[in-house]
Amino acid sequence: MDSMVYNFKNTYLLLQRAGDEVIMNTNKALPYILLIIATMIWGGNFVIGRAISDQVPPLTLAFLRWVVAVAIFLPFAWREMVANKQIIIEHWKALLLMSLTGIAAFNTLVYVGLHHTTSINASLLNTLTPLIIIVLSYFILKEALVYNQLIGLILSITGVFLILSQGSLNTLLTLSFNIGDLIIFVAVILWGVYSIVIKYNSGKIPLYTSLAVTMIVGMLILLPFSLWELFIADQNIVWSVSSVAAIIYVGVFASIVAFLSWNKAVSLIGPGKAGIFLSLIPIFTTVFAIAFIGETLTWYQITGGVLAITGIYLSTRKK
């Protein structure tokens, strides 16, 4: 009898230990799973923006994206917003700048740019975000540039010019770049500004409050532009299953699920390790674009992407 009890206890302890190990390993893997989810969703966002460019006008798509996001997210953030009313008033300038750059301008310019360029090109240019942040930090926050960052900067710029010129020396010499690529590049710079503002105000504004306020303000900024597009420029929405599904995707997944997944992962492993995962976005975008909308991958995209991602890796790794 004692032997049975002893064996039962041993079995129970072994099962408990195995369960603890599973939980521990799951917790270790969680941030990386969240980062993969976020970058996969953002990769899909580029493809969606390109796929429905003939069904939903870009300014209206950006506006409807935040309408959906606000409608779903606001009930969860409302109490925190009310409790932090004074913080919102104190930091209204920062919140307004974040709304203009990261919410209104960035997404709108991405959707406008996708009317003129491929989703693969757009996602490759988007990988420059960490590098743009480093450069802006140097000029705005006076953070020093180190040797590996300079080397990375040169490699990334080379890769970007290769993508922008589509591998043509004549295009490079005459500076006759694709207007869509240039619009995406401006969008990436604005996202860098948005990131700098977040970095400067880190810890001053609660996460849910910051996200909810910037969503609302960004949505209101985009409203008149969407009305102009629909009623004056006479660009109509083609309502269909695909256009509705696309609006829900960008409003729910790209705006809320991906953002919260990313921020949770960053809080667990830090921005340095998380930043490397941004390089997964063009990989997911390329797979989705080739599989679903028939885009093709060219040699200059591959070469330029490798140079840009290598440069970003060198720039963001520790000294």
DSSP string, 11-46: HHHHHHHHHHHHHHHHHHHHHHHHHHHHHHHHHHHH
Per-residue b/e over 41-60, b at no fewer than 16 CB within 10 Å?
A: bbbbbbbbbbbbbebbbbbb
pLDDT of residue 317: 64
pLDDT top residue among 250 and 26: 250
User: Cα-Cα-Cα-Cα dihedral of 141, 145, 148, 153, to 10°?
Assistant: 70
Per-residue pLDDT at 5 exceeds 50:
no
Q: In whole angstroms, what is the distance from residue 200 CA to residue 141 CA?
A: 8
Cα angle at 121 between 119 and 125, to 5 degrees?
Answer: 115
- Highest mean pLDDT among 19-23, 69-73, 149-153, 187-191 belongs to 69-73
Using 50, 70 and 90 to split pLDDT, how confident is the model at 172? Answer: low
DSSP string, 98-161: HIIIIIIIHHHHHHHHTTTS-HHHHHHHHTTHHHHHHHHHHHHS-PPP-HHHHHHHHHHHHHHH
Residue percentage of the chain with pLDDT more than 70: 83
Using 50, 70 and 90 to split pLDDT, how confident is the model at 89? Answer: very high
Mean pLDDT to the nearest integer, 175-183: 79
Of 57, 134, 65, which is closest to residue 103 (Cα–Cα)?
65
pLDDT of residue 20: 45
Instruction: Specify whether the backbone of 166 is left (phi greater than 0), alpha (psi in -120 to 50) or beta.
Output: left
Exposed (0-12), middle (13-18) or buried (19+): which is 124, by Cβ within 10 Å? buried
Q: How many CB atoms within 10 Å of residue 296? A: 10
pLDDT of residue 291: 86
- In tens, the pLDDT along 199-223 reads 777 778 887 888 899 999 999 999 9
Per-residue pLDDT at 26 exceeds 70:
no
Per-residue b/e over 133-171, b at no fewer than 16 CB within 10 Å?
A: bbbbbeeeeeeeeeebbeebbebbebbbebbbbbeeeee
pLDDT of residue 173: 59
pLDDT of residue 212: 92
pLDDT of residue 181: 86
Q: In whole angstroms, what is the distance from residue 251 CA to residue 65 CA?
A: 4
Q: In whole angstroms, what is the distance from residue 244 CA to residue 257 CA?
A: 18
* Domain boundaries defined on the chain: 58-316
